[in-house]
Structure 1
């Protein structure tokens, strides 16, 4: 992967900001095995964007944005058992223009509301080079050799979110609710990139912090509930429903030495969801779990720009399986 980003920020009127820039990116995969060197996929894409941050009085901030994206994807196609290329659509390109809007309303110095409506588009993700090498004994079975559906449409996303932030004494509470819609959801079936359908996800998140001198307490919750009008496959790029996620934390920061020590708790509630299409609809269940981490953050120069971190995750060495993106009965255990 190679690329470049260039951005500019301009201030005018003493209150407004204007940002614009360009993003360039080129990706290419390849591999080798007993068949020799194998060319994978390649993709070139660029984006042009402009964003305005407008201060409307002392209590309102408006953001407006516009982004243009273009991509060109070339896949490796498919081959027969002798490695001879088969006929099929191996290239696709498209362009999109997407707007975004945001609003922050500072009702009081300690209470603010925010909202945003963003549109975006996404090009297909390249097949992993490992899937070409892992060819199940013959090159024609390699999962990384793909065709493109001639009717393929670009995946489009709309995200709507509203939230708040409230500060009171040593407490800070913030939260939001959101709805995301993904049209033309990408899915690779029988080595063909195609559109599976529409995925809608609703969810919320909230976080509470309490700071008392050097002691800090945190607690948070996050939940997302995806609903698809198509059957979820075992594609790792799919969105598999996960249980409600909880987090807790306690930390204490010493002045001399400049050292912070803390504990973090990560918990997931169990989750059931259905997969497959009628008449073979199956119910899958993700088992809940809770794990604990400890960390140390040291700033030897007493400056924020140099940190030495030490972390031990899952200090109890608990055997658990995270709510992964794999649509399998049993997923690999976590470390």
Structure 2
């Protein structure tokens, strides 16, 4: 028996002073799972539950949505040979949403299966891939839409098919990785004509690639990612709230240095390229670059005490992340990312 229980509770709120609008959301839930080894099969099974509440208030009005989802799941990893591992699993989910604006209740349920493999083609090359199908029923809306948009009474659940194929190549201290993916969501849910309804088909194609090298006390890596989400052939925009948006190609570089056994130093640089492929009527998104650094010191034997210093956005860059709603004329426009963020930390292990 290898049982694990996770409990969580989160809350967030936002106040728009110019219009006296307030909105907030809270979630709590649990995940209970167990792992068993049955011969060459490693099986994980369990159940999870999540309860969500969203509230919106403006002068003279207030609305509240309440939703929850319960799921049962099982996942099997089967070591077929010394070189090939297969995986298969499924989960069944029950969705329920009570909407404050319309007073209606919605419910959906369904099965979400998956298949995967991992093949050591040679001592240096690993190939991996898989397919997964997932359903999603109605969930909490964007909080600032709760007073104007209600769910379509005939709304259908979203069904997503996700495909992935990747490779990892290792030669000495060198590691190369690449992964390509395609995601296709039928009946994706979003805003249309004053209602939250099924809009069409959302397809996303993309890939990631990376290179890393380790020396005795220094490691370095560089990764690149690209994704192209399209709704019925049109690039996603910031106006597709509740679905997603388009972001520029992203580069991430890491450099880690351990001058002595008790000290770690590091730097991360992230560059998002200018996004030029945009939907009609939307502006291009400017690129940006951000740098983070850290230092950690473990002065006691056994690494019981760790002292850390982290500086995020080292050069105090003001920018809007590409995934932020960015229309400056809209009252729901996103906020710029945090400026220079300096953090001191201490952790002690008993």
Instruction: Within 5 Å, give how 1:65-84 maps onto structure 2.
Output: 65-78=89-102
Shift in Å, 1:299: 3.6
Shift in Å, 1:190: 5.3
Check whether the contact 1:49–1:68 (CA below 8 A) recurs between aligned residues: yes
Shift in Å, 1:12: 1.5
Q: C-alpha separation between the residues in 2 aligned to 1:321 and 1:32?
A: 27
1:234 counterpart (229, 235, 239): 239
Check whether the contact 1:90–1:146 (CA below 8 A) recurs between aligned residues: no
Q: Which residue in 2 is equivalent to 1:263?
A: 267
Q: Which residue in 2 is equivalent to 1:29?
A: 54
1:216 aligns with 2:216: no
Q: Secondary structure at the match of 2:319?
A: coil
Q: Which residues of structure 1 form unaligned runs of 5+?
A: 79-88, 132-141, 276-280
Q: C-alpha separation between the residues in 2 aligned to 1:273 and 1:234?
A: 15
Shift in Å, 1:326: 2.1
1:54 aligns with 2:78: yes
1:17 aligns with 2:42: yes
The structure-2 alpha-carbon separation of the partners of 1:10 and 1:320, relative to structure 1 and needing over 3 Å to count, comes to same
Q: Which residue in 1 is equivalent to 2:107?
A: 93
CA offsets 1:57-76 (integer angstroms, 9 cap, x no match) = 10000000111111111111
Q: C-alpha separation between the residues in 2 aligned to 1:273 and 1:62?
A: 38
Q: C-alpha separation between the residues in 2 aligned to 1:309 and 1:18?
A: 38
2:160 counterpart (157, 182, 193): 157
Q: Which residue in 2 is equivalent to 1:199?
A: 202
Q: C-alpha separation between the residues in 1 aligned to 2:304 and 2:177?
A: 27
Shift in Å, 1:303: 5.2
Q: Which residue in 1 is equivalent to 2:22?
A: none
Shift in Å, 1:197: 1.1
The structure-2 alpha-carbon separation of the partners of 1:61 and 1:45, relative to structure 1 and needing over 3 Å to count, comes to same
Check whether the contact 1:71–1:94 (CA below 8 A) recurs between aligned residues: yes
Q: C-alpha separation between the residues in 2 aligned to 1:315 and 1:285?
A: 26
Q: C-alpha separation between the residues in 1 aligned to 2:134 and 2:41?
A: 24
Shift in Å, 1:329: 6.7
Check whether the contact 2:160–2:183 (CA below 8 A) recurs between aligned residues: yes
Aligned-pair Cα RMSD in Å:
2.5
Q: C-alpha separation between the residues in 2 aligned to 1:75 and 1:189?
A: 17
1:2 counterpart (24, 28, 33): 28
Q: C-alpha separation between the residues in 1 aligned to 2:154 and 2:238?
A: 20
Q: C-alpha separation between the residues in 2 aligned to 1:24 and 1:234?
A: 31
How many residue pairs match? The answer is: 306
The structure-2 alpha-carbon separation of the partners of 1:128 and 1:186, relative to structure 1 and needing over 3 Å to count, comes to closer
Shift in Å, 1:227: 1.3
The structure-2 alpha-carbon separation of the partners of 1:153 and 1:302, relative to structure 1 and needing over 3 Å to count, comes to farther
Q: C-alpha separation between the residues in 1 aligned to 2:108 and 2:92?
A: 11
Q: Secondary structure at the match of 1:286?
A: coil
Q: C-alpha separation between the residues in 1 aligned to 2:181 and 2:306?
A: 34
Q: C-alpha separation between the residues in 2 aligned to 1:305 and 1:272?
A: 49
Q: Secondary structure at the match of 1:185?
A: strand
Q: Which residues of structure 2 form unaligned runs of 5+?
A: 1-26, 339-350
Q: Which residue in 1 is equivalent to 2:170?
A: 167
1:188 aligns with 2:188: no
The structure-2 alpha-carbon separation of the partners of 1:115 and 1:284, relative to structure 1 and needing over 3 Å to count, comes to same
- Show structure 1 runs of 4+ deviating over 6 A: none
Shift in Å, 1:324: 2.4
Q: Which residue in 2 is equivalent to 1:249?
A: 254
Q: Tell which has more relative contact order, 1 or 2 (C-alpha 8 A, sep 6+).
A: 1
Shift in Å, 1:307: 4.6
CA offsets 1:215-248 (integer angstroms, 9 cap, x no match) = 0111010110111116756243232211110011
